[in-house]
């Protein structure tokens, strides 16, 4: 099957092998990677132990085993080179802007340069299918909402924020939380 690069479109993709002989296609110009999800899932089933071992090793060496030389992120929507439809983008996490590009019709994935290494660094190279699932994406949206909420109050309260947060944490864990909340709402300072 001949496929041109999903990103720069001018270069033919060449067969390559990722970790533990995972067959993929790669663009020599932009270093993007094409993954067939059927192949990926089979690879995953056969390499669960290897991947777990690798993650453990990574843990022990403090994430030094995986290095990302260059990380790029294709901004606009990509077009699937097999069926010519737009691919969907799924955020990996809220810290990076990187997304995985997925064509659900063809059941395949496009990763930009360095994104496979990023998945490994985050120890989610075995979770590609989960990343594009609704619970994962919902969780990211929830996190984003919480962070935005916190940031708004940080700005609003300024230097008092730290004290408020410490108090809120203390209150949250207090066995008489609701009594304290009630007292606070009814509290009147002595004139």
Candidates 80, 76, 70; CA nearest to 9 is 80
Measure the CA–CA gap between 184 and 181, rounded to whole angstroms.
5
Please report how close the Cβ of residue 5 comes to Zn ion at its closest, in angstroms: 3
> Do the Cβ atoms of 32 and 136 come closer than 8 Å?
no
Please report how close the Cβ of residue 160 comes to Zn ion at its closest, in angstroms: 51
Please report how close the Cβ of residue 79 comes to Zn ion at its closest, in angstroms: 9
Query: At 33, phi and psi to the nearest 5?
Result: -125, 135
> Do the Cβ atoms of 105 and 83 come closer than 8 Å?
yes
Cβ proximity to Zn ion: between 27 and 109 the closer is 27
38: burial class by Cβ within 10 Å (0-12, 13-18, 19+)? exposed
Binding region for Zn ion (CB under 5 A)? 5, 7-8, 27, 29-30, 32, 80, 82-83, 103, 105-106
Cβ proximity to Zn ion: between 27 and 119 the closer is 27
Please report how close the Cβ of residue 26 comes to Zn ion at its closest, in angstroms: 9
Please report how close the Cβ of residue 104 comes to Zn ion at its closest, in angstroms: 8
Cβ proximity to Zn ion: between 87 and 131 the closer is 87
Cβ proximity to Zn ion: between 40 and 126 the closer is 40
Candidates 167, 123, 35; CA nearest to 27 is 35
Cβ proximity to Zn ion: between 7 and 47 the closer is 7
């Amino acid at each position: 099957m001949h496929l041109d690069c999903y990103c720069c479109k001018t270069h033919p993709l060449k067969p390559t092998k990722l970790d533990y002989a995972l067959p993929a296609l790669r663009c020599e110009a932009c270093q993007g990677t094409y993954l067939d999800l059927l192949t990926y899932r089979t690879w995953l089933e056969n390499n669960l132990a290897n991947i777990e071992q690798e993650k453990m090793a990574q843990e022990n060496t403090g994430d030094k085993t995986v290095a990302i030389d260059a990380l790029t992120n294709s901004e606009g929507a990509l077009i699937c080179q097999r069926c010519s439809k737009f691919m969907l983008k799924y955020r990996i996490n809220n810290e990076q802007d990187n997304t995985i590009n997925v064509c659900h019709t063809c059941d395949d994935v496009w990763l930009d340069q360095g994104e496979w290494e990023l998945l490994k660094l985050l120890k989610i190279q075995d979770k590609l299918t989960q990343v594009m699932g609704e619970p994962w994406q919902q969780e990211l949206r929830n996190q984003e909402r919480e962070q935005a909420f916190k940031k708004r109050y940080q700005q609003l309260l300024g230097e008092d924020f730290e004290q408020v947060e410490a108090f809120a944490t203390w209150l949250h864990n207090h066995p008489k939380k609701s009594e304290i909340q009630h007292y606070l709402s009814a509290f009147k300072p002595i004139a």
